[in-house]
Structure 1
Amino acid sequence: METTTKPTLPNFYLDMRTIYATLPAGSLSIGFSAPPLLSRLSNLSSLRSLTSPSSQSLSVDLPLTVDVNDRLSVYGGVSGATSQAGSDPWTTFSVYAFTVGFQADIYQQNGGMFPTITVQSNVTRSISDAPLATTAYNAILEADYALNADQTRGLLAGAQYTRVLVDTPLARVSPDIMGYVGGYYQWDNNWKFTGRFGVQHFGGAQLLNLTPFPAFTQPIVRFDLDRMDDNDNRLFGITAQIAWAPKPSYQLTLRTPLYVIKN
Protein backbone atom coordinates (compact mmCIF):
# COMPACT_ATOMS: atom_id res chain seq x y z
CA MET A 1 0.00 0.00 0.00
CA GLU A 2 1.36 3.42 -0.94
CA THR A 3 1.86 5.93 1.85
CA THR A 4 1.13 9.58 1.29
CA THR A 5 3.71 12.14 2.35
CA LYS A 6 2.40 15.22 4.08
CA PRO A 7 3.58 18.45 2.50
CA THR A 8 6.28 20.26 4.44
CA LEU A 9 5.03 23.49 5.98
CA PRO A 10 7.25 26.58 5.69
CA ASN A 11 9.15 27.92 8.67
CA PHE A 12 7.03 30.52 10.45
CA TYR A 13 8.62 32.58 13.20
CA LEU A 14 9.07 35.94 14.88
CA ASP A 15 12.70 36.87 14.20
CA MET A 16 13.10 39.07 17.29
CA ARG A 17 16.18 41.32 17.33
CA THR A 18 17.26 43.40 20.32
CA ILE A 19 19.73 46.14 19.37
CA TYR A 20 21.91 48.39 21.53
CA ALA A 21 23.70 51.15 19.61
CA THR A 22 25.89 54.17 20.35
CA LEU A 23 26.45 57.16 18.10
CA PRO A 24 29.02 59.99 18.43
CA ALA A 25 27.97 63.63 18.34
CA GLY A 26 27.15 65.27 15.04
CA SER A 27 26.80 62.11 12.97
CA LEU A 28 24.31 59.70 11.42
CA SER A 29 24.98 56.00 10.94
CA ILE A 30 23.34 53.54 8.55
CA GLY A 31 25.66 50.52 8.50
CA PHE A 32 24.19 47.14 7.59
CA SER A 33 20.63 48.20 8.50
CA ALA A 34 18.50 51.31 8.14
CA PRO A 35 16.13 51.25 11.19
CA PRO A 36 18.72 52.73 13.66
CA LEU A 37 19.03 55.72 11.31
CA LEU A 38 15.24 56.16 11.20
CA SER A 39 15.10 56.09 14.99
CA ARG A 40 17.79 58.77 15.06
CA LEU A 41 15.93 60.99 12.57
CA SER A 42 12.64 60.67 14.44
CA ASN A 43 14.28 62.07 17.58
CA LEU A 44 16.17 64.99 16.01
CA SER A 45 13.16 67.30 16.03
CA SER A 46 13.21 67.36 19.82
CA LEU A 47 16.85 68.48 20.09
CA ARG A 48 17.35 71.97 21.51
CA SER A 49 20.82 72.66 20.06
CA LEU A 50 22.11 73.07 16.53
CA THR A 51 24.63 70.24 16.98
CA SER A 52 23.38 66.71 17.45
CA PRO A 53 24.85 65.34 20.71
CA SER A 54 26.20 61.84 21.24
CA SER A 55 23.46 59.31 21.90
CA GLN A 56 22.64 55.70 22.69
CA SER A 57 19.57 53.65 21.91
CA LEU A 58 17.90 50.35 22.70
CA SER A 59 15.56 49.07 20.02
CA VAL A 60 13.59 45.91 19.25
CA ASP A 61 12.72 44.64 15.76
CA LEU A 62 9.82 42.19 15.47
CA PRO A 63 9.60 40.96 11.87
CA LEU A 64 7.18 38.07 11.34
CA THR A 65 9.06 35.83 8.89
CA VAL A 66 7.96 33.02 6.57
CA ASP A 67 10.59 30.82 4.87
CA VAL A 68 8.47 29.93 1.85
CA ASN A 69 11.12 27.45 0.69
CA ASP A 70 14.91 27.13 0.77
CA ARG A 71 15.21 30.00 -1.73
CA LEU A 72 12.69 32.61 -0.57
CA SER A 73 11.78 34.30 2.71
CA VAL A 74 9.31 37.14 3.24
CA TYR A 75 8.88 39.22 6.36
CA GLY A 76 7.08 42.19 7.86
CA GLY A 77 6.88 43.75 11.29
CA VAL A 78 7.41 46.74 13.55
CA SER A 79 10.35 48.34 15.35
CA GLY A 80 10.35 50.18 18.66
CA ALA A 81 13.05 52.07 20.51
CA THR A 82 14.08 54.16 23.47
CA SER A 83 17.03 56.54 23.25
CA GLN A 84 19.13 58.91 25.31
CA ALA A 85 20.98 61.94 23.89
CA GLY A 86 23.51 64.18 25.62
CA SER A 87 22.49 64.74 29.23
CA ASP A 88 18.80 64.17 28.57
CA PRO A 89 16.97 61.24 30.20
CA TRP A 90 15.95 58.13 28.27
CA THR A 91 12.85 58.60 26.15
CA THR A 92 9.72 56.50 26.54
CA PHE A 93 9.85 53.26 24.52
CA SER A 94 7.65 53.62 21.46
CA VAL A 95 7.04 51.98 18.10
CA TYR A 96 8.65 54.15 15.42
CA ALA A 97 8.57 52.15 12.13
CA PHE A 98 7.26 49.14 10.25
CA THR A 99 9.18 47.12 7.65
CA VAL A 100 8.24 44.73 4.85
CA GLY A 101 10.75 42.85 2.69
CA PHE A 102 12.04 39.64 1.21
CA GLN A 103 15.23 37.63 0.76
CA ALA A 104 15.68 35.36 -2.25
CA ASP A 105 18.39 33.17 -3.77
CA ILE A 106 18.25 34.02 -7.46
CA TYR A 107 20.95 31.42 -8.14
CA GLN A 108 22.24 28.56 -5.97
CA GLN A 109 25.74 27.13 -6.24
CA ASN A 110 24.82 23.50 -5.43
CA GLY A 111 28.39 22.30 -5.90
CA GLY A 112 28.95 24.25 -9.10
CA MET A 113 31.57 26.79 -10.09
CA PHE A 114 29.44 29.91 -9.60
CA PRO A 115 28.46 31.28 -6.17
CA THR A 116 24.99 31.52 -4.71
CA ILE A 117 23.55 34.97 -5.46
CA THR A 118 21.15 36.37 -2.87
CA VAL A 119 19.13 39.56 -3.06
CA GLN A 120 17.48 41.14 -0.03
CA SER A 121 15.23 44.17 -0.22
CA ASN A 122 12.99 45.97 2.24
CA VAL A 123 11.05 49.17 2.78
CA THR A 124 10.85 50.80 6.20
CA ARG A 125 8.32 53.52 6.98
CA SER A 126 8.40 55.59 10.15
CA ILE A 127 5.15 55.81 12.09
CA SER A 128 6.32 58.28 14.72
CA ASP A 129 4.38 61.49 15.34
CA ALA A 130 7.62 63.46 14.90
CA PRO A 131 7.59 65.89 11.92
CA LEU A 132 10.57 64.16 10.25
CA ALA A 133 8.64 61.18 8.88
CA THR A 134 10.83 59.01 6.66
CA THR A 135 10.74 56.12 4.21
CA ALA A 136 13.89 54.01 3.74
CA TYR A 137 14.62 51.70 0.82
CA ASN A 138 17.35 49.13 1.41
CA ALA A 139 18.75 46.57 -1.05
CA ILE A 140 21.60 44.06 -0.63
CA LEU A 141 23.16 41.87 -3.32
CA GLU A 142 25.48 39.16 -1.94
CA ALA A 143 27.56 36.38 -3.51
CA ASP A 144 28.29 33.29 -1.36
CA TYR A 145 30.95 30.89 -2.65
CA ALA A 146 30.98 27.64 -0.61
CA LEU A 147 34.37 25.97 -0.28
CA ASN A 148 33.05 22.49 0.54
CA ALA A 149 30.04 20.31 -0.26
CA ASP A 150 28.47 20.80 3.18
CA GLN A 151 28.59 24.59 2.74
CA THR A 152 30.13 25.04 6.17
CA ARG A 153 33.03 27.16 4.88
CA GLY A 154 32.80 29.91 2.32
CA LEU A 155 33.61 33.38 1.04
CA LEU A 156 31.27 36.36 0.76
CA ALA A 157 31.16 39.54 -1.30
CA GLY A 158 28.34 42.02 -1.53
CA ALA A 159 27.00 45.53 -1.95
CA GLN A 160 24.28 47.48 -0.16
CA TYR A 161 22.33 50.55 -1.25
CA THR A 162 20.18 52.57 1.17
CA ARG A 163 18.07 55.58 0.32
CA VAL A 164 16.14 57.56 2.93
CA LEU A 165 13.39 59.99 1.88
CA VAL A 166 12.12 62.59 4.37
CA ASP A 167 8.56 63.92 4.12
CA THR A 168 9.60 67.57 3.96
CA PRO A 169 11.52 69.67 1.43
CA LEU A 170 13.46 71.19 4.34
CA ALA A 171 15.38 67.96 4.99
CA ARG A 172 17.50 65.79 2.71
CA VAL A 173 19.41 62.56 3.29
CA SER A 174 21.80 61.40 0.57
CA PRO A 175 22.17 57.71 -0.34
CA ASP A 176 24.47 55.33 1.51
CA ILE A 177 26.45 52.83 -0.60
CA MET A 178 28.51 49.99 0.85
CA GLY A 179 30.76 47.29 -0.57
CA TYR A 180 32.14 44.42 1.52
CA VAL A 181 33.91 41.07 1.51
CA GLY A 182 33.98 38.34 4.14
CA GLY A 183 33.71 34.69 4.94
CA TYR A 184 32.17 32.14 7.30
CA TYR A 185 33.00 28.90 9.10
CA GLN A 186 30.57 26.48 10.76
CA TRP A 187 31.83 23.92 13.28
CA ASP A 188 30.51 20.38 13.72
CA ASN A 189 28.56 21.52 16.80
CA ASN A 190 26.58 23.91 14.55
CA TRP A 191 28.09 27.16 15.82
CA LYS A 192 28.71 29.46 12.86
CA PHE A 193 31.00 32.51 12.69
CA THR A 194 30.72 35.10 9.91
CA GLY A 195 32.85 38.18 9.33
CA ARG A 196 32.28 41.05 6.91
CA PHE A 197 34.69 43.91 6.22
CA GLY A 198 33.75 46.81 3.98
CA VAL A 199 33.69 50.48 3.14
CA GLN A 200 30.58 52.65 3.14
CA HIS A 201 30.09 56.03 1.51
CA PHE A 202 27.39 58.24 3.01
CA GLY A 203 26.51 61.36 1.03
CA GLY A 204 25.58 63.41 4.09
CA ALA A 205 22.34 64.98 5.30
CA GLN A 206 20.85 68.41 5.81
CA LEU A 207 18.03 68.55 8.35
CA LEU A 208 15.78 71.62 8.66
CA ASN A 209 18.73 73.68 7.34
CA LEU A 210 20.09 73.70 10.89
CA THR A 211 21.96 70.45 11.55
CA PRO A 212 24.35 69.44 8.76
CA PHE A 213 25.79 65.92 8.72
CA PRO A 214 28.81 65.85 6.38
CA ALA A 215 29.51 63.15 3.83
CA PHE A 216 32.11 60.50 4.64
CA THR A 217 33.75 57.39 3.25
CA GLN A 218 34.80 55.11 6.08
CA PRO A 219 35.36 51.41 6.93
CA ILE A 220 32.79 49.17 8.60
CA VAL A 221 33.13 45.71 10.18
CA ARG A 222 30.52 43.20 11.30
CA PHE A 223 30.88 39.87 13.11
CA ASP A 224 28.10 37.29 13.54
CA LEU A 225 28.07 34.28 15.86
CA ASP A 226 25.05 32.03 15.32
CA ARG A 227 23.85 28.76 16.80
CA MET A 228 22.24 26.66 14.05
CA ASP A 229 20.33 23.37 14.15
CA ASP A 230 20.94 20.36 11.88
CA ASN A 231 18.59 21.83 9.27
CA ASP A 232 20.44 25.19 9.23
CA ASN A 233 17.72 27.05 11.14
CA ARG A 234 19.05 29.81 13.39
CA LEU A 235 18.40 29.16 17.09
CA PHE A 236 20.33 32.12 18.52
CA GLY A 237 22.60 34.83 17.17
CA ILE A 238 24.72 37.75 18.29
CA THR A 239 26.08 40.47 15.99
CA ALA A 240 28.71 43.12 16.70
CA GLN A 241 29.17 46.03 14.29
CA ILE A 242 31.57 48.98 14.26
CA ALA A 243 30.87 51.70 11.70
CA TRP A 244 33.09 54.76 11.48
CA ALA A 245 30.70 57.67 10.87
CA PRO A 246 33.38 59.13 10.81
CA LYS A 247 33.98 58.46 14.53
CA PRO A 248 33.24 54.88 15.71
CA SER A 249 29.60 53.94 16.16
CA TYR A 250 28.99 50.64 17.96
CA GLN A 251 26.04 48.28 17.63
CA LEU A 252 25.30 44.98 19.39
CA THR A 253 22.37 42.83 18.25
CA LEU A 254 20.83 39.71 19.85
CA ARG A 255 18.69 37.53 17.57
CA THR A 256 16.28 35.17 19.32
CA PRO A 257 13.85 33.64 16.77
CA LEU A 258 10.53 32.49 18.23
CA TYR A 259 9.37 29.61 16.03
CA VAL A 260 5.73 28.76 15.47
CA ILE A 261 6.60 26.17 12.80
CA LYS A 262 10.18 24.90 12.35
CA ASN A 263 11.35 22.26 9.87
Structure 2
Amino acid sequence: MRIAVLLPLALLTALPGCAMLQPATEVPTVAEPAGPASRARAAALLREGLRAQNPPRGGTPDPERAAALIEEAAMLGNPDAQLLVAAGHLLRGDGSRDARAAIPWLLRAAQQGQPEAQLRLARLIEGGDGTEREPAWAALWFNRAAERGVPQAQYAFALMQVAGAGTAPDQAEALARLTLAEQAGVAAARRYRQALEPRVPATEAAVALARVRDETTRGPVTTPDRPLVRFAQSALSVLGAEVEVDGRDGPATRAALTAFARREGLGVSRPYDPAVIDRLRDRLPRR
Protein backbone atom coordinates (compact mmCIF):
# COMPACT_ATOMS: atom_id res chain seq x y z
CA MET A 1 0.00 0.00 0.00
CA ARG A 2 1.25 3.48 -0.87
CA ILE A 3 2.16 5.95 1.85
CA ALA A 4 -0.42 8.75 2.09
CA VAL A 5 -0.26 10.93 -1.00
CA LEU A 6 -0.06 14.26 0.80
CA LEU A 7 2.73 13.63 3.25
CA PRO A 8 2.82 15.71 6.44
CA LEU A 9 4.40 19.13 5.97
CA ALA A 10 6.79 18.49 8.85
CA LEU A 11 8.26 15.56 6.95
CA LEU A 12 8.44 17.51 3.72
CA THR A 13 10.53 20.23 5.32
CA ALA A 14 12.49 18.53 8.08
CA LEU A 15 14.80 16.28 6.09
CA PRO A 16 18.34 17.46 5.40
CA GLY A 17 19.28 17.98 1.78
CA CYS A 18 20.10 14.68 0.07
CA ALA A 19 22.79 14.08 -2.51
CA MET A 20 21.58 15.79 -5.66
CA LEU A 21 21.34 14.51 -9.19
CA GLN A 22 23.01 16.50 -11.93
CA PRO A 23 20.48 19.34 -12.31
CA ALA A 24 18.79 19.90 -15.65
CA THR A 25 18.55 23.34 -17.23
CA GLU A 26 15.06 22.52 -18.49
CA VAL A 27 12.37 20.14 -17.29
CA PRO A 28 12.53 17.20 -19.72
CA THR A 29 9.41 15.84 -21.36
CA VAL A 30 10.04 12.31 -20.07
CA ALA A 31 11.77 11.28 -16.84
CA GLU A 32 14.34 8.55 -16.49
CA PRO A 33 12.73 5.17 -15.74
CA ALA A 34 12.53 3.97 -12.15
CA GLY A 35 15.09 1.54 -10.81
CA PRO A 36 14.73 -2.22 -11.16
CA ALA A 37 14.08 -3.06 -7.51
CA SER A 38 10.68 -4.20 -6.35
CA ARG A 39 8.10 -1.74 -5.12
CA ALA A 40 7.91 -3.62 -1.86
CA ARG A 41 11.60 -3.06 -1.15
CA ALA A 42 11.36 0.67 -1.89
CA ALA A 43 8.21 1.01 0.23
CA ALA A 44 9.88 -0.79 3.13
CA LEU A 45 12.87 1.56 2.97
CA LEU A 46 10.55 4.56 2.99
CA ARG A 47 8.66 3.27 6.03
CA GLU A 48 11.94 2.65 7.83
CA GLY A 49 13.14 6.14 6.95
CA LEU A 50 9.94 7.73 8.23
CA ARG A 51 10.29 5.81 11.49
CA ALA A 52 13.87 7.03 11.84
CA GLN A 53 12.68 10.59 11.31
CA ASN A 54 9.69 10.26 13.66
CA PRO A 55 10.34 7.35 16.02
CA PRO A 56 7.77 5.99 18.47
CA ARG A 57 7.45 7.71 21.82
CA GLY A 58 10.72 7.52 23.71
CA GLY A 59 12.84 7.09 20.60
CA THR A 60 15.45 9.52 19.29
CA PRO A 61 15.08 10.91 15.76
CA ASP A 62 17.96 10.14 13.41
CA PRO A 63 17.65 12.63 10.52
CA GLU A 64 20.80 11.49 8.74
CA ARG A 65 19.75 7.84 8.69
CA ALA A 66 16.24 8.87 7.69
CA ALA A 67 17.56 10.90 4.76
CA ALA A 68 19.77 8.03 3.58
CA LEU A 69 16.93 5.50 3.71
CA ILE A 70 14.44 7.78 2.00
CA GLU A 71 16.92 8.67 -0.74
CA GLU A 72 17.58 4.97 -1.33
CA ALA A 73 13.83 4.40 -1.66
CA ALA A 74 13.67 7.33 -4.08
CA MET A 75 16.48 5.91 -6.20
CA LEU A 76 14.57 2.63 -6.38
CA GLY A 77 11.58 4.49 -7.79
CA ASN A 78 9.21 5.15 -4.88
CA PRO A 79 7.32 8.35 -5.79
CA ASP A 80 6.55 9.42 -2.22
CA ALA A 81 10.22 9.09 -1.34
CA GLN A 82 11.12 11.08 -4.44
CA LEU A 83 8.76 13.82 -3.28
CA LEU A 84 10.48 13.88 0.12
CA VAL A 85 13.94 14.10 -1.44
CA ALA A 86 12.75 16.98 -3.61
CA ALA A 87 11.27 18.71 -0.57
CA GLY A 88 14.60 18.31 1.20
CA HIS A 89 16.20 20.37 -1.57
CA LEU A 90 13.43 22.97 -1.58
CA LEU A 91 13.84 23.63 2.14
CA ARG A 92 17.09 22.42 3.66
CA GLY A 93 17.92 22.30 7.33
CA ASP A 94 20.16 25.37 7.05
CA GLY A 95 17.43 27.42 5.40
CA SER A 96 18.89 27.24 1.88
CA ARG A 97 17.12 25.75 -1.14
CA ASP A 98 18.03 24.35 -4.55
CA ALA A 99 15.06 24.09 -6.89
CA ARG A 100 17.24 22.84 -9.75
CA ALA A 101 18.21 19.81 -7.69
CA ALA A 102 14.59 19.18 -6.69
CA ILE A 103 13.17 19.20 -10.21
CA PRO A 104 14.48 15.79 -11.42
CA TRP A 105 13.02 14.12 -8.33
CA LEU A 106 9.70 15.92 -8.71
CA LEU A 107 9.49 14.91 -12.36
CA ARG A 108 10.10 11.23 -11.56
CA ALA A 109 7.40 11.26 -8.89
CA ALA A 110 5.02 13.33 -10.99
CA GLN A 111 5.19 10.96 -13.93
CA GLN A 112 4.26 8.14 -11.57
CA GLY A 113 1.11 10.05 -10.68
CA GLN A 114 2.18 11.57 -7.34
CA PRO A 115 -0.25 14.54 -7.16
CA GLU A 116 1.69 16.71 -4.71
CA ALA A 117 4.81 16.30 -6.87
CA GLN A 118 2.80 17.33 -9.93
CA LEU A 119 1.59 20.46 -8.14
CA ARG A 120 5.04 21.42 -6.88
CA LEU A 121 6.60 20.80 -10.28
CA ALA A 122 3.97 22.97 -11.95
CA ARG A 123 4.62 25.82 -9.53
CA LEU A 124 8.37 25.72 -10.15
CA ILE A 125 7.90 25.72 -13.92
CA GLU A 126 5.30 28.50 -13.78
CA GLY A 127 7.60 30.69 -11.72
CA GLY A 128 10.81 29.85 -13.57
CA ASP A 129 12.21 28.62 -10.28
CA GLY A 130 15.17 26.32 -10.93
CA THR A 131 14.28 26.04 -14.60
CA GLU A 132 13.26 28.21 -17.50
CA ARG A 133 9.75 29.61 -17.15
CA GLU A 134 7.22 27.73 -19.33
CA PRO A 135 3.58 28.70 -18.73
CA ALA A 136 2.23 26.08 -21.14
CA TRP A 137 4.24 23.25 -19.57
CA ALA A 138 3.23 24.43 -16.10
CA ALA A 139 -0.41 24.35 -17.22
CA LEU A 140 -0.01 20.73 -18.29
CA TRP A 141 1.22 19.70 -14.84
CA PHE A 142 -1.41 21.77 -13.04
CA ASN A 143 -3.99 20.01 -15.21
CA ARG A 144 -2.59 16.59 -14.32
CA ALA A 145 -2.63 17.36 -10.60
CA ALA A 146 -6.16 18.75 -10.91
CA GLU A 147 -7.37 15.51 -12.48
CA ARG A 148 -5.90 13.67 -9.50
CA GLY A 149 -7.96 15.71 -7.07
CA VAL A 150 -5.61 18.47 -5.88
CA PRO A 151 -7.80 21.54 -5.16
CA GLN A 152 -4.90 24.02 -5.39
CA ALA A 153 -4.15 22.68 -8.87
CA GLN A 154 -7.78 23.14 -9.92
CA TYR A 155 -7.54 26.73 -8.73
CA ALA A 156 -4.21 27.47 -10.44
CA PHE A 157 -5.25 25.89 -13.74
CA ALA A 158 -8.57 27.75 -13.64
CA LEU A 159 -6.80 31.11 -13.36
CA MET A 160 -4.63 30.19 -16.35
CA GLN A 161 -7.77 29.32 -18.33
CA VAL A 162 -9.40 32.63 -17.40
CA ALA A 163 -6.36 34.57 -18.60
CA GLY A 164 -5.51 32.31 -21.51
CA ALA A 165 -2.01 32.07 -20.06
CA GLY A 166 -0.24 28.87 -21.04
CA THR A 167 -3.46 27.27 -22.22
CA ALA A 168 -6.44 28.22 -24.35
CA PRO A 169 -8.99 30.44 -22.56
CA ASP A 170 -12.11 28.63 -21.39
CA GLN A 171 -14.36 30.54 -19.01
CA ALA A 172 -16.91 27.75 -18.54
CA GLU A 173 -14.30 25.19 -17.59
CA ALA A 174 -12.45 27.70 -15.43
CA LEU A 175 -15.67 28.37 -13.54
CA ALA A 176 -16.13 24.64 -13.00
CA ARG A 177 -12.62 24.29 -11.63
CA LEU A 178 -13.02 27.31 -9.35
CA THR A 179 -16.27 25.82 -8.05
CA LEU A 180 -14.58 22.50 -7.26
CA ALA A 181 -11.61 24.25 -5.65
CA GLU A 182 -13.88 26.36 -3.49
CA GLN A 183 -15.89 23.31 -2.43
CA ALA A 184 -12.62 21.62 -1.44
CA GLY A 185 -11.61 24.51 0.81
CA VAL A 186 -9.53 26.85 -1.39
CA ALA A 187 -10.86 30.12 0.02
CA ALA A 188 -9.26 32.32 -2.65
CA ALA A 189 -11.33 30.59 -5.34
CA ARG A 190 -14.55 32.13 -4.07
CA ARG A 191 -14.08 35.70 -5.29
CA TYR A 192 -12.90 34.56 -8.70
CA ARG A 193 -15.85 32.19 -8.96
CA GLN A 194 -18.26 34.98 -8.01
CA ALA A 195 -16.73 37.34 -10.56
CA LEU A 196 -16.79 34.77 -13.35
CA GLU A 197 -20.21 33.24 -12.70
CA PRO A 198 -22.30 36.04 -14.31
CA ARG A 199 -20.24 35.76 -17.51
CA VAL A 200 -20.96 32.06 -18.14
CA PRO A 201 -24.45 30.91 -19.20
CA ALA A 202 -25.96 28.51 -16.65
CA THR A 203 -26.31 25.67 -19.15
CA GLU A 204 -22.66 25.96 -20.23
CA ALA A 205 -21.58 26.09 -16.60
CA ALA A 206 -23.52 22.93 -15.74
CA VAL A 207 -22.12 21.00 -18.69
CA ALA A 208 -18.55 22.09 -17.89
CA LEU A 209 -18.91 21.21 -14.22
CA ALA A 210 -20.18 17.73 -15.03
CA ARG A 211 -17.33 17.21 -17.51
CA VAL A 212 -14.59 18.40 -15.16
CA ARG A 213 -15.96 16.29 -12.31
CA ASP A 214 -15.78 13.28 -14.62
CA GLU A 215 -12.17 13.98 -15.64
CA THR A 216 -10.51 12.08 -12.80
CA THR A 217 -7.33 10.04 -13.12
CA ARG A 218 -5.28 7.72 -10.95
CA GLY A 219 -1.89 6.18 -11.39
CA PRO A 220 1.07 7.02 -13.63
CA VAL A 221 0.90 9.49 -16.48
CA THR A 222 -0.01 7.82 -19.76
CA THR A 223 0.72 9.04 -23.30
CA PRO A 224 -1.34 10.69 -24.46
CA ASP A 225 -3.49 11.73 -21.54
CA ARG A 226 -6.04 14.57 -21.57
CA PRO A 227 -3.60 17.21 -20.28
CA LEU A 228 -1.02 16.34 -22.93
CA VAL A 229 -3.66 16.44 -25.66
CA ARG A 230 -4.87 19.81 -24.35
CA PHE A 231 -1.28 21.10 -24.27
CA ALA A 232 -0.71 20.00 -27.86
CA GLN A 233 -4.00 21.52 -29.02
CA SER A 234 -3.29 24.81 -27.24
CA ALA A 235 0.24 24.95 -28.64
CA LEU A 236 -0.91 24.17 -32.18
CA SER A 237 -3.59 26.84 -31.89
CA VAL A 238 -1.02 29.43 -30.79
CA LEU A 239 1.12 28.43 -33.76
CA GLY A 240 -1.74 28.97 -36.19
CA ALA A 241 -3.39 25.57 -36.59
CA GLU A 242 -7.17 25.33 -36.51
CA VAL A 243 -7.82 22.77 -33.79
CA GLU A 244 -10.39 22.63 -31.03
CA VAL A 245 -8.89 22.74 -27.55
CA ASP A 246 -10.93 20.19 -25.62
CA GLY A 247 -8.41 17.59 -24.41
CA ARG A 248 -9.94 14.92 -26.65
CA ASP A 249 -7.52 13.03 -28.82
CA GLY A 250 -8.88 12.58 -32.33
CA PRO A 251 -8.02 12.52 -36.04
CA ALA A 252 -7.96 16.32 -36.40
CA THR A 253 -5.49 16.79 -33.55
CA ARG A 254 -3.28 13.94 -34.74
CA ALA A 255 -3.30 15.28 -38.30
CA ALA A 256 -2.27 18.73 -37.04
CA LEU A 257 0.56 17.23 -34.96
CA THR A 258 1.74 15.15 -37.92
CA ALA A 259 1.71 18.21 -40.17
CA PHE A 260 3.65 20.20 -37.57
CA ALA A 261 6.25 17.42 -37.26
CA ARG A 262 6.62 17.28 -41.04
CA ARG A 263 7.13 21.05 -41.31
CA GLU A 264 9.74 20.88 -38.57
CA GLY A 265 11.60 18.08 -40.35
CA LEU A 266 11.10 15.59 -37.53
CA GLY A 267 11.40 12.01 -38.71
CA VAL A 268 8.94 10.48 -36.26
CA SER A 269 5.96 8.23 -36.85
CA ARG A 270 3.92 8.93 -33.70
CA PRO A 271 2.01 12.23 -33.30
CA TYR A 272 2.77 12.43 -29.56
CA ASP A 273 6.41 11.38 -29.84
CA PRO A 274 8.52 13.22 -27.20
CA ALA A 275 10.48 14.87 -30.03
CA VAL A 276 7.26 16.44 -31.34
CA ILE A 277 6.22 17.64 -27.88
CA ASP A 278 9.70 19.02 -27.24
CA ARG A 279 9.60 20.97 -30.50
CA LEU A 280 6.19 22.38 -29.63
CA ARG A 281 7.60 23.53 -26.32
CA ASP A 282 10.52 25.16 -28.12
CA ARG A 283 8.20 27.07 -30.43
CA LEU A 284 5.99 28.53 -27.69
CA PRO A 285 6.64 31.88 -25.98
CA ARG A 286 8.16 31.43 -22.54
CA ARG A 287 6.84 34.62 -20.96
Q: Same fold (TM over 0.5)?
A: no
Of Structure 1 and Structure 2, the greater helix share is in: 2
